Structure 1
Amino acid sequence: MLLDSAGFKNFLFLDLNIRNDWSSSLPNANNSYLYGGGSLAFVFTDLLPKSDIFSFGKASFAFGRTGSDIGPYNIYQVYSSAGFYGTNPSLTVPNQIPNENLKPALSDALEAGMELKFLKNRLRLNANYFDRTSRDQILSVTLPSTTGFSSALINAGEVSSKGWEFSVGGTPIKTSSLTWDLNANFSTNKNKIVELYPGVDNFQFGSFGYQGTPLIRVERRVDHAWGEIVAGGFKRDDKGNTLIDDDGMPIIEEGHNLGTFVPKMTGGFTSSVTYKNFTAGFSLDFQIGGKLFSVTNGNLEGSGLAEVTAGLNDKGNPKRDPVANGGGILVPGIRESDGKPNTTYVDPQDYYEGHIPYAWQERTYDATYVKLREVTLGYNLPSKLVSRFKAQRASISLIARNPWLVYSKIKGIDPSESAGNWNEGGQLPGTRTIGLNLRITF
């Protein structure tokens, strides 16, 4: 690796680096890859008259390339250990076809930013724009079982990622005994799949389904956003009305694009107060947009444990009573056969257990949330007391983690605790913890 740094009159700074790696896990013809980058920073306030209002200003620009390889034993066919068959060791042929022509994956990035400070650094602003492109990603693609393998390893794709990152900080109060700091940050990120593999316009990222039901799929499709969720959903007319069959059930059609699981915006907010030896603070984070498929809600409704499956219907009768006795539920919509409003009631078990699992769109939600992540209250022990046991510092803190889900667009679900990035897999609920922390520094 080569590094070089240069500065000019303490306001213009240039950093450059270049590196070459040789990977033994790649073929000899492709095992060497060169990458590096550079950055330029301009502290323009050093050229301006000194001011207590405009304390600091810096513009920066950076570019770079990174490379990555893969683990060993992926370019040639090798046997895998399968334990013992009786007392004899056994080997198996892997289900994935290796690739003797693999190349390193490369990612290029451009970033431009601005850092501003005002009122003797009491107000702080940062803004950054990034544009990243990943090429020749090493992917495992699914193969038909008739090939004798389940997947193949290939270089494929070009993915573009662009977005903004902002942060705002301030110190509204700062005296000899009291300090109050506030900080907020948020970011946006738009991903697009520019190219995949010759002759291929879609790689599946993930899927879910029960035996006998269609799959909900996450796709990587050319000219689409990364991570789009595609599933069966209710058929609708031009006005958005659900189309109902003559039995009172919504008509289901496949191929509904539900949007990407990548959020439109993420961010957070922190506040900390120090008064003499006491400290207090909290942190909050949020997400706007992004789709999340909920297995929990499907399981609750399908087993009859969800609130919506019980209670009274619009006639004032128990939903679970026989339809002939005034029970059941009425699905709002328009009958496809005659264009009139649906008037046919259906049994809730037939609807929630037998029909909805074929329309995964009804279990896919907007994953917007706001969450109070942590609250702390602490006390720094006086130095005279700490010195008695030959320590430098000591503090005691009460810490609450995950104390409050302020808002979730998915009723009963905390998107921030999801086990997967697109699939809330029916896991146990998140936990709220309260602890006491004693820290002593010698």
Structure 2
Amino acid sequence: TQYFISGAYTNEEGPITIQDAPMIQGSTRLNLKQAVNDKLTVSMTSYFSDRDRSLYGEGGESYFLRRLTFLTAQANLLAEDPNEPGGYSHIGESIDVGNAAENPVNRLVNTDHTEDRSRFLGGFDATYSPFRWLKVIGNVSIDRIDIDESYYQRPGLSRLFKTVKTLGSMRQEDRLRQEFNASLTLAANRQFGDLTMRNRVRWLMETLDNSGSEVRVSELPVGGVHSLGVATGTPQINSYSESIRSEGLFLINQFTYKDKYVGDFLVRQDGSSLFGADERWQNYGRVSMAWRVAQEPWFNVDWIDELKPRFSIGTSGGRPRFDAQYQTYAISSGQLIPTTLGNKSLKPELATEQEIGIDMVIAQRLKIVASLVDMKVEDQLLLVPLPSSTGFESQWKNAGTIETDTWEVGIEALIVDRPGLQWTTRVNLDKSESIITELNTPSFEITTPGYSRARMMVQEGEKVGAFYGFQWLESCDGLKEGSSCDEFDVNDMGHLVYVGAGNSWKDGKAKDLWGTKGTVNGRTYDWGHPIRPDSDSPLIFTKLGDSQPDLNASLSQDIQWGNVGISFLLDGEWGASIYNFSHHWQSRDWHNKIADMRGVPDAEKKPISYFSALQYRNNANSFFAEDADYVKLREVSVRYIMYEDDLPDIVRRTGIKQATINLIGRNLKTWTDYLGFDPEVGTDTYGGSAVVGRVDEWAIPNYRSFGIDVEVVF
């Protein structure tokens, strides 16, 4: 009998210190393995974790950060309100605070938004070997996640410059996700001379059930009572239930000949209830080949220990979301409103990937892995807008093809290897470019209802994640035909501005020109202000940037000197763009830090109206499309290892073989010119992925953290 028992406890403070709401998680693991006889072995695995955390002000919760950045620096947010025990006061002076409707600290400390999440994973395996070369393997497993989320905001909170108090609100949400899987595998391993064959036949069954319910209430007559029943307002009740069933059959053959020629073949059939009714079953396959050239008798390069070119080609499928195939409606004022048209012919995306690469080991110290990958994703799943004549807003369709080219290089060098000292360096470089090569529907844009934040275009020939808007003029080429360039100048922000004959952009204060206007070729301009292109100009709607970097890179070092180990990781990204909507909206209310003219020479100072003009009614424009280049000190760790010989006798008698203490710091330093809090930002509002939707909308940044790990091996 073999067994493994482990436990872990985590207590992590949140990013907002005024809110005493740490993330606390405990987990335990128990694994057992029993040989019933020489042919039958059974095993059991189990894992349970429970996590409590505050959701307010964490992760995607942007309210606190958004409101905070709209307040003036002199606002005393921590001043207690003598007329409101436990609350925080108004700002105090009648100053323009833009969109800040209340003190965000007041709301923060008087709002509880918590999540209790528990997870259980269990599995049972049985392996029967009737012959030495044949195994029958059965597996069943379960993965259950229970989430209890609650929200409470006490009534009676003051709002800035408003006599109306908040009425208070509560929300209770319960979610359950349960997955049950079963598989049966027939495995045969045979050797015929120099040929080793490994064959698998596998059947897989998966079930996934999601369900949840939510109740929202408002108008709480008393504070401090966390009960839905005390609310006097009309409750809002919602629930959902989803069931997904999948089944698959795999045929796998792997072979090695003379330990030099390696092959891998797979044929697979998948069936899923997520596929449209007319496309329930799909077929996939894979072929992989490798050649260990350095093992050939004629290869006599002594300093090359491994030289392995390889090639593979395979297909797979990206599954639709649960509701994509169905016809959906919304309810408004008791009326059914058609929203999404169903599609019985909806198929999974078909991804075909080809990879060619080479692996090398040189002098047992240098390892190089290089790959070129070409991926073509056909039948792309897109939510396509429909003509109003259909009666529906949109429909999920297999409407496009995306082709992605990727190259990757990884280098690992063992710089020092001697008793008591090892030093390893790793460098990784990669680049991917994804382009929409086919679109079987008219071009369309992805945006957020109610705003023109970042207008992401989906059209043939365009990169995935490209966003559009208007380009502020940077040269006279964008002026109306016939306009004289003599009355314009380019300022220190790169903007073309009207200055009048004989003036420069630096003459605004010296000649008292700010606030004046001028007319050129029938168009009136504000002196010194950025110029928006004319409505018939190609710059009125042009590409501003895209979310795909030109290069990703990382550098890691690991040094082990006796019992002490030190490691660090640097990584970076170059060439991508971010649409900084956080700064965009702040410019509307005069709270963008770029408007701070302290320390700026008088000739270069600009009035607040200059930065308000850049905001231009929330319309996406070039000024807020920023470079996302950065380098991060991602992690530093210092560890001390006590091996068995280092442990006191009294400790060894307990069965402890090794103990390690590890101090870790993460996200320690970022080098970037990006004006937002963190260049690692995105939202899944655009295209369903934060990697594609590189839009900054007040998300809490990746904050610096420090931790200590203690590991004991028995």
TM-score (norm 2): 0.53
The match for 2:19 is none
Identity of aligned residues (%): 25
1:65-76 pair list within 5 angstroms = 65-72=315-322, 74-76=324-326
The match for 1:54 is 304
Q: How many matched pairs?
A: 402
Structure-2 change in CA distance of 1:145 and 1:415 (3 Å): farther
Specify the SS of the correspondent of 1:298.
helix
**Any stretches of 5+ residues in structure 2 without a counterpart?**
1-249, 479-489, 491-495, 499-523, 534-539, 684-689
Kept in 2: contact 1:208–1:217 (CA 8 A): no
What letter corresponds to residue 265 of structure 2 in structure 1? L
The match for 2:340 is 96
Decide which of 657, 666, 669 is 1:401's aligned counterpart: 666
1:372 aligns to 2:621 (yes or no): no
What letter corresponds to residue 375 of structure 1 in structure 2? V
Specify the SS of the correspondent of 2:343.
coil
Deviations 1:331-352 (A, max 9, x none): xxxxxxxxxxxxxxxx41x222
1:280 aligns to 2:566 (yes or no): yes
Structure-2 change in CA distance of 1:94 and 1:270 (3 Å): farther
Kept in 2: contact 1:96–1:149 (CA 8 A): yes
Deviations 1:59-115 (A, max 9, x none): 0000000023324454344678x8xx9xxxx99666211112222321101100011
1:307-322 pair list within 5 angstroms = 307-311=593-597, 316=602
Kept in 2: contact 1:6–1:15 (CA 8 A): yes
Decide which of 460, 470, 485 is 1:222's aligned counterpart: 460
Give the whole-Å Cα distance in 2 for the aligned partners of 1:246 and 1:176.
75
- TM-superposed CA distance for 1:379, in Å, is 0.4
Give the whole-Å Cα distance in 1 for the aligned partners of 2:303 and 2:414.
14
The match for 1:246 is 525
- TM-superposed CA distance for 1:154, in Å, is 1.0
Structure-2 change in CA distance of 1:317 and 1:238 (3 Å): closer
Specify the SS of the correspondent of 1:362.
helix
Give the whole-Å Cα distance in 2 for the aligned partners of 1:70 and 1:359.
30
**Any stretches of 5+ residues in structure 1 without a counterpart?**
320-328, 330-346
The match for 1:441 is 713
Give the whole-Å Cα distance in 2 for the aligned partners of 1:362 and 1:355.
7
Specify the SS of the correspondent of 2:381.
strand
- TM-superposed CA distance for 1:353, in Å, is 2.5
The match for 1:265 is 551
CA RMSD of aligned residues (A): 2.8
Deviations 1:122-171 (A, max 9, x none): 01111100111001122212346675433211111011101200011101
1:410 aligns to 2:674 (yes or no): yes
- TM-superposed CA distance for 1:43, in Å, is 0.5
Give the whole-Å Cα distance in 2 for the aligned partners of 1:264 and 1:252.
29
The match for 2:615 is 356
1:188 aligns to 2:431 (yes or no): yes
Give the whole-Å Cα distance in 1 for the aligned partners of 2:586 and 2:323.
44
Structure-2 change in CA distance of 1:21 and 1:225 (3 Å): same
Deviations 1:285-341 (A, max 9, x none): 10011110112323444443444323359763895xxxxxxxxx2xxxxxxxxxxxx
Higher mean alpha-carbon deviation, 410-419 vs 129-138, is at 410-419
What letter corresponds to residue 398 of structure 1 in structure 2? L
1:292 aligns to 2:578 (yes or no): yes
Deviations 1:352-375 (A, max 9, x none): 224433452101111111001000
Q: Indicate the structure whose relative CO is greater, using CA pairs within 8 Å and at least 6 residues apart.
A: 1
Structure-2 change in CA distance of 1:387 and 1:226 (3 Å): same
TM-score (norm 1): 0.83
What letter corresponds to residue 375 of structure 2 in structure 1? R
The match for 1:322 is none
Higher mean alpha-carbon deviation, 387-396 vs 13-22, is at 387-396
Structure-2 change in CA distance of 1:403 and 1:209 (3 Å): farther
Specify the SS of the correspondent of 1:95.
strand
What letter corresponds to residue 423 of structure 1 in structure 2? V
